[in-house]
Copies of this chain bind each other. A is one copy, B any other.
Amino acid sequence: MDVLGALNLGDIAQTFSKMGMFPVFDLAYYIVSILYLKYEPGSVEVSRRSPVASWLSAMLYCFGSYILADVLLGGSPLDYFQYNSHVLLASAVWYLLFFCPLNLFYKCVAFLPVKLVLVALKEVVRTRKIAAGVHHAFHAYHHGFFIMVIVGYVKGSGVALISNFEQLLRGVWRPDTNEIMNMSFPTKASLYGAILFTLQETQWIPIAKSTLILLFTLFMITCKVVMTARHSHGSPFSLIESWVCHLLFGSPLGGAVEDH
């Protein structure tokens, strides 16, 4: 019975990890990403005054992770733009979100139940990206543990890591903060995920990759959906982090447990 259960889980994980992301999951990813762009103060005015800058920002929100990972591995930052259908889909989402009459598309996708589904689908893509990033780096550098973690991290975090420069494109400059100094939950989770997938890839964790993908996806979906539903910016890691940082870096206890 137990063996059968394990087998079934493995089967489900296998099927799940082979599922294609385009177009449904990618579409959700684009919608949620550009939705967050629209939440940024000033972004609607920019889209009116300079559609090109707004479109470029939207592309960074959708493809920032690919651009960054390609740059870090020495490739062309435009490499992903060869997939015309992806770029066209993201452009259509950008157009609908910013210029749809009566703001109809925005109102649909920002409606909480719809948004929760989209957020859940986005996390599926994020986990896949982390796994693919680590795998890509593993192929280039078989023993480059740090490279695997960094590339996986970057694939998961995407535009957040270059938000200073993305904002600059829209005429906003906030040098006193950045995503590395104040990591949000998805960025932190991407870092921990990248470490997990690196350990899996280099066989320090005795688990199948498809299973890890399934488990990490479920964890991410649960966290993000709950956080989005409750409008929370807290992090499920804060308690552990607070203790680890206290032990390792002498940070004051409870300093990381902030807004909820």
Chain A residues engaging chain B, CB cutoff 8 angstroms: 46-53, 56, 70-79, 81-82, 84, 87, 98-99, 140-141, 143-147, 150-151, 164, 168-173, 175-178, 180-183, 191, 245, 248-251
User: CA–CA, A183 to B52, complex, Å?
Assistant: 10
A87 and B146 contacting across the interface, CB-CB below 8 Å: yes
Closest B residue to A145 using CB positions? B84
Cβ contacts A to B, 23 pairs, < 8 Å: A47-B249, A48-B249, A48-B250, A49-B251, A51-B245, A51-B248, A52-B180, A52-B183, A52-B191, A53-B181, A56-B180, A74-B75, A74-B79, A76-B140, A81-B147, A81-B150, A82-B147, A84-B143, A84-B146, A99-B250, A169-B178, A169-B181, A173-B175
A180 and B99 contacting across the interface, CB-CB below 8 Å: no
User: CA–CA, A171 to B147, complex, Å?
Assistant: 24
Closest B residue to A149 using CB positions? B81
CB distance from A224 to the nearest CB of B (A): 21
Which of the residues B51, B70, B82, B177 comes within 8 Å of A171, measured between beta carbons?
B177
CB distance from A66 to the nearest CB of B (A): 13
B84 and A144 contacting across the interface, CB-CB below 8 Å: yes
Closest B residue to A77 using CB positions? B72
A147 and B78 contacting across the interface, CB-CB below 8 Å: yes
Q: Closest 5 CB pairs between A and B? A: A74-B76, A173-B175, A82-B144, A81-B146, A50-B181
User: CA–CA, A257 to B71, complex, Å?
Assistant: 39
* A48-B251 contact, Cβ under 8 Å, with A53-B180, A175-B168, A181-B171: yes
User: CA–CA, A22 to B245, complex, Å?
Assistant: 31
Which residues of chain B are within 8 angstroms of A82 by Cβ–Cβ distance?
141, 143-144, 146-147
A-B contacts besides A53-B181, A78-B151, 4 pairs, CB < 8 Å: A81-B144, A81-B150, A84-B143, A84-B145
User: CA–CA, A49 to B178, complex, Å?
Assistant: 13
